[in-house]
Chains A and B, each alone.
Chain A
């Protein structure tokens, strides 16, 4: 019945969008663009490089456009729509290469391309077409490795226990928890241990962590406590923001426990050492 109903009036009463059906994945492409994300760029560049290595290992040529910067999420979630839109438009130009998938080693930034750019350009029909096309060819790294590359990982490391943290928006918008779990499941000497309130937010939330430091701090304290208590030797995550939040808190608490980016973890496991170490 809803197909017959179409009310284009901007003030028409809205319904929730249809549930997303399972994403259709293309065949493995010859080349991709890597969108590094600003947090990885400045604080975890080795993770970005490991992502490139993982993709190259699959026989994929990786482009890294030097004109890329930030997806625009910080301004968008802070309510600065125009500023977010200007930055988003710049990325749209950089990434506007039809047929070239965009791989992002951070779930929430991938989610920004896939879900929130639509809202930013809702009133620009022509741009919206390019936005839709970008959304269609954007993949979070673990998703791309698993679903498009169909990687087979052979574990060369020592037996280890790790905890997995997935960013909330990425989990809800991109299903990253399922993809990361499945990838980790291919590593036969790695045991993924659950931690208490695993699906709860780590408290980052971009500018939330500086606007509400009391609440955000309580959240990251609980998150780090449950990670340490899980019995894991380290935490892995595919989201730069959460990683910065959790590691920064652990360091402040003088805890030895650390998290690291899933790309670096995977690259190390399949090579038997920290081959991605940067001088």
Chain B
């Protein structure tokens, strides 16, 4: 007998003569306490994210590239990982080219194995888009893909995320339902709610444990 057959057999014997319990999910409990007026969503998201050391900058689809350049300059960061094949990647490339910024734009255009050393030690910052955000918990939602792979939001010490204000949902449940996540998920979905942190020593909070030390969210209020 295989382990599988043994385990399933034991479990089934223990349930003989019983019925599966009904589905008693109560969506009210995970939605109603977490509904916000549309005009309050950004404020809720911002206050929660700032409470965990995230920088949140309201901006617009016109001025965000300049803000990115400014944020990098203020930190003396010289390179930024940014997907040239995305709309926001193209916009940033245009801006950098037009304004002769000193920032060097890098692309994640080869398998991680081909440039692990460089990714781990030489990339200063990354910029990614987001699928949206969740006001209730102060979380960004990322669905990594070929353009913006999984490690882009994890390995560089500074992660800048672009968020369209119109894509901030009240709570995770509403977002899952609105986008029908249950019908199928990509290989990796991430909720990111701040820079990497730990409290494993004396419960003292320290940021930049293994992932980004800084998370910067640019909220495009007109998008």
Q: Which chain B residues lie closer than 8 Å to A278 at the CB level?
A: none
- New contact pairs (16) apart from A1-B24, A7-B18, A11-B16, CB-CB < 8 Å: A1-B22, A1-B23, A2-B24, A5-B21, A5-B22, A7-B19, A9-B17, A9-B18, A11-B14, A11-B15, A11-B17, A11-B18, A12-B18, A12-B19, A13-B15, A13-B18
15 contacts across the A-B interface (CB closer than 8 A): A1-B22, A1-B24, A2-B22, A2-B24, A4-B22, A5-B22, A7-B21, A9-B19, A11-B16, A11-B17, A11-B18, A12-B18, A13-B18, A13-B21, A15-B21
Q: Which chain A residues lie closer than 8 Å to B22 at the CB level?
A: 1-2, 4-5
Q: Which chain A residues lie closer than 8 Å to B21 at the CB level?
A: 5, 7, 13, 15
Nearest CB of chain A from residue B16's CB, rounded to whole Å: 7
Q: Which of A1-52 contact B (CB under 8 A)?
A: 1-2, 4-5, 7, 9, 11-13, 15
CB 8 Å contact bits of B21-57 with A (1 = contact, 0 = none): 1111000000000000000000000000000000000
Q: How far is the CA of A11 from the CA of B16 in the complex (A)?
A: 8
Q: How far is the CA of A167 from the CA of B16 in the complex (A)?
A: 41
Interface set of A (CB-CB < 8 Å, partner B) = 1-2, 4-5, 7, 9, 11-13, 15
Q: How far is the CA of A5 from the CA of B18 in the complex (A)?
A: 12
Q: Which chain B residue lies CB-closest to A5?
A: B22
Q: Which chain A residues lie closer than 8 Å to B24 at the CB level?
A: 1-2
Q: How far is the CA of A61 from the CA of B17 in the complex (A)?
A: 52
Q: How far is the CA of A12 from the CA of B22 in the complex (A)?
A: 12
Q: Which chain B residues lie closer than 8 Å to A7 at the CB level?
A: 18-19, 21
Nearest CB of chain B from residue A157's CB, rounded to whole Å: 45
Q: How far is the CA of A4 from the CA of B21 in the complex (A)?
A: 11
Q: How far is the CA of A11 from the CA of B14 in the complex (A)?
A: 7
Nearest CB of chain B from residue A253's CB, rounded to whole Å: 32
Q: Which chain A residue lies CB-closest to B15?
A: A11
Nearest CB of chain A from residue B18's CB, rounded to whole Å: 4
CB 8 Å contact bits of B167-190 with A (1 = contact, 0 = none): 000000000000000000000000
Q: Which chain B residues lie closer than 8 Å to A11 at the CB level?
A: 14-18
Q: Which chain B residues lie closer than 8 Å to A12 at the CB level?
A: 18-19
Nearest CB of chain A from residue B9's CB, rounded to whole Å: 15
Q: Which chain B residues lie closer than 8 Å to A15 at the CB level?
A: 21
Q: Which chain A residues lie closer than 8 Å to B14 at the CB level?
A: 11
| Highest count of chain A CB atoms <10 Å: which of B14, B17, B23 | B17
Q: Which chain B residue lies CB-closest to A4?
A: B22
Nearest CB of chain B from residue A217's CB, rounded to whole Å: 28
Q: Which chain A residue lies CB-closest to B14?
A: A11
Q: Which chain A residue lies CB-closest to B13?
A: A11
Nearest CB of chain B from residue A235's CB, rounded to whole Å: 32
Q: How far is the CA of A194 from the CA of B24 in the complex (A)?
A: 41
Nearest CB of chain A from residue B12's CB, rounded to whole Å: 12
Q: Which chain A residue lies CB-closest to B21?
A: A13
Q: How far is the CA of A11 from the CA of B18 in the complex (A)?
A: 7
Q: How far is the CA of A2 from the CA of B21 in the complex (A)?
A: 9
Q: How far is the CA of A7 from the CA of B15 in the complex (A)?
A: 11
Q: How far is the CA of A238 from the CA of B19 in the complex (A)?
A: 45
Nearest CB of chain A from residue B27's CB, rounded to whole Å: 13
Q: How far is the CA of A4 from the CA of B16 in the complex (A)?
A: 21
Q: Which chain A residues lie closer than 8 Å to B16 at the CB level?
A: 11
Nearest CB of chain A from residue B192's CB, rounded to whole Å: 34
Q: How far is the CA of A5 from the CA of B17 in the complex (A)?
A: 15
Nearest CB of chain A from residue B52's CB, rounded to whole Å: 29
Q: Which chain A residues lie closer than 8 Å to B15 at the CB level?
A: 11, 13
Q: Which chain A residue lies CB-closest to B16?
A: A11
Q: How far is the CA of A240 from the CA of B15 in the complex (A)?
A: 43
Q: 3 closest A-B pairs (Cβ-Cβ)?
A: A12-B18, A9-B18, A9-B17
Nearest CB of chain A from residue B11's CB, rounded to whole Å: 11
Nearest CB of chain B from residue A12's CB, rounded to whole Å: 4
Q: Which chain A residues lie closer than 8 Å to B18 at the CB level?
A: 7, 9, 11-13
Q: Which chain B residues lie closer than 8 Å to A5 at the CB level?
A: 19, 21-22
Q: How far is the CA of A85 from the CA of B200 in the complex (A)?
A: 47
Q: How far is the CA of A4 from the CA of B23 in the complex (A)?
A: 12
Q: Which chain A residues lie closer than 8 Å to B23 at the CB level?
A: 1
Q: Which chain B residues lie closer than 8 Å to A13 at the CB level?
A: 15, 18, 21
Nearest CB of chain B from residue A9's CB, rounded to whole Å: 5
Q: How far is the CA of A1 from the CA of B16 in the complex (A)?
A: 23
Q: How far is the CA of A184 from the CA of B14 in the complex (A)?
A: 52
Nearest CB of chain B from residue A16's CB, rounded to whole Å: 12
Q: How far is the CA of A15 from the CA of B18 in the complex (A)?
A: 14
Nearest CB of chain A from residue B14's CB, rounded to whole Å: 6
Nearest CB of chain A from residue B126's CB, rounded to whole Å: 45
